[in-house]
Amino acid sequence: MATQVTVKSKTTGSLTFYTSYANARSAAAAGDVIQIRADLDEQIILKDGVDIYIDPGTLVDMTDELPTVTDGENDCVCNITGGGIIKNSYTGSNKQSCVKISQSNSIVNIECFRIEGEGENSGSTEGACVDVSSAASSD
């Protein structure tokens, strides 16, 4: 699909269509919502203040040796919602996480249909579906 991602502007409510998440992320400003409308094989690097909505039944699946969703080692406060599936199906020897949050001030709320990954054994965090090595407390 040529327009698989949109940005809904907080200020005007208008939608702008993009062919990739990376392009939509670059254009989005705090308060905007990025809507993923079709299946993607692309890493989702979160942007502070920009929420993400994944359409129901839509699959975001990273097949490269990267986590599917990450704060990109930058503080990030955002929400990921919708009825989509976040998956990591990388099959190499170094399994990858579906969601990797690494910054102490990141606050990421996720409500989706499913998060699934290939994973490793229980003695390793490599490939954990959700790997939170550091994040802010919501006390």
Q: What is the C-alpha separation between 6 and 20, in angstroms, rounded?
A: 9
pLDDT of residue 129: 74
Residue 101 vs residues 12, 39, 97, 109, 110: alpha-carbon distances, Å:
31, 22, 10, 11, 12
Contact predicate 74/90, CB 8 Å? no
For the ranges 49-53, 100-104, 130-134, the maximum mean pLDDT occurs at 49-53
Convert the pLDDT of each residue in 29-62 to its tens digit. Answer: 999 999 999 999 999 999 999 999 999 999 999 9
Domain boundaries, the chain: 5-132
Convert the pLDDT of each residue in 64-101 to its tens digit. Answer: 999 999 999 999 999 999 999 999 988 888 888 889 99
| Stated pTM of the model | 0.86
